[in-house]
Amino acid sequence: MIAPDPDTPLLAVRDLRKSVPGGRVLFDGLDLDLRAGDFVAVTGESGVGKSTLLNLIAGLDQADCGSIRLDGDELGGLDEDQGARLRRERIGFVFQAFHVLPHLTLAQNVALPLILQRQGQAASLQRARAMMAEVGLGGRDADYPAQLSGGELQRVAIARALVHRPALILADEPTGNLDPETAGRIMELLTRQVRSAGAAAILVTHSAAAASAADRSLTLTRHGLTGADAA
């Protein structure tokens, strides 16, 4: 578990600018500080660059200028392989479309980040089973995704995002494919798991209900993030 350090920002984003091909500027001068244990929701109109911001923070996209530091490491200087290793070890993802592999059992899906870190099959699966129990899927480790509902699949995705104890969770519309009742339960689960792991989390969403689960809710505009407690 990551020990929260209230004084040092886990994620420090400074003066970030991103434009799309054609020259349209998505945002400019964006700043964001995130400490361990912070849970921030980012909302905004469609096309404003919410998912792009997540991708920049994950090292999957390059900013025009500005800096992103995760635990003190500047992401802009990382090559593709270093970026991949960073994501493998320190970031967890939750997607709108779940993206679980249909040919792996639920436990194998959850254990994937650990297996990629070569932590050993047996130990990885043991940890995955424990994680599944925490998200309410205990005893179903040998099932396959084809047998699960959408809400259950998102639980698997949340377990996979947290199984390797990442410092930062990036969740892109995690309730976008779910009905309101299931979405509420998933947000509750995600919040609880993020907090118990002591990780920081950024949730990109259109849903006011989902955003309300976060500690802070920020709105992304062309001029950066606005809202309560923005850095």
Listed residue (208, 95, 193) closest to 153, CA to CA: 95
Query: Residue 206 and residue 54: Cα distance in Å, rounded?
Result: 15
Q: Minimal distance in Å, beta carbon 7 to other proteins?
A: 28
Which of residues 1 and 122 has its CB atom nearest to other proteins in the complex? Answer: 122
Contacts by 221-230 with C-beta closer than 8 Å and gap 24+? 221/27, 221/44, 221/48, 222/25, 222/26, 222/27, 222/28, 222/48, 223/27, 223/28, 223/29, 224/16, 224/27, 224/28, 224/29, 224/30, 224/31, 225/30, 225/31, 225/32, 225/42, 230/31, 230/32
Question: Which residue bears the tokens 């593709």?
Answer: 80
Residues found near other proteins in the complex (CB under 8 A): 51, 55, 58, 60-61, 80-81, 84-89, 91, 93, 95, 97, 99, 101-104, 108, 112-113, 115-116, 118, 120-122, 144-147, 150, 160
Q: Minimal distance in Å, beta carbon 90 to other proteins?
A: 9
Which of residues 166 and 224 has its CB atom nearest to other proteins in the complex? Answer: 166
Q: Minimal distance in Å, beta carbon 137 to other proteins?
A: 17
Task: Give strand pairing partners of 69.
Answer: 12, 74
Which of residues 7 and 81 has its CB atom nearest to other proteins in the complex? Answer: 81
Structure token pair of residue 72: 């003190």
Q: Minimal distance in Å, beta carbon 229 to other proteins?
A: 28
Which of residues 120 and 138 has its CB atom nearest to other proteins in the complex? Answer: 120
Which of residues 36 and 178 has its CB atom nearest to other proteins in the complex? Answer: 178
Q: Minimal distance in Å, beta carbon 6 to other proteins?
A: 28
Which of residues 32 and 170 has its CB atom nearest to other proteins in the complex? Answer: 170
Q: Is the torsion defined by CA of 129, 179, 190, 117 positive or negative?
A: positive
Q: Minimal distance in Å, beta carbon 102 to other proteins?
A: 4
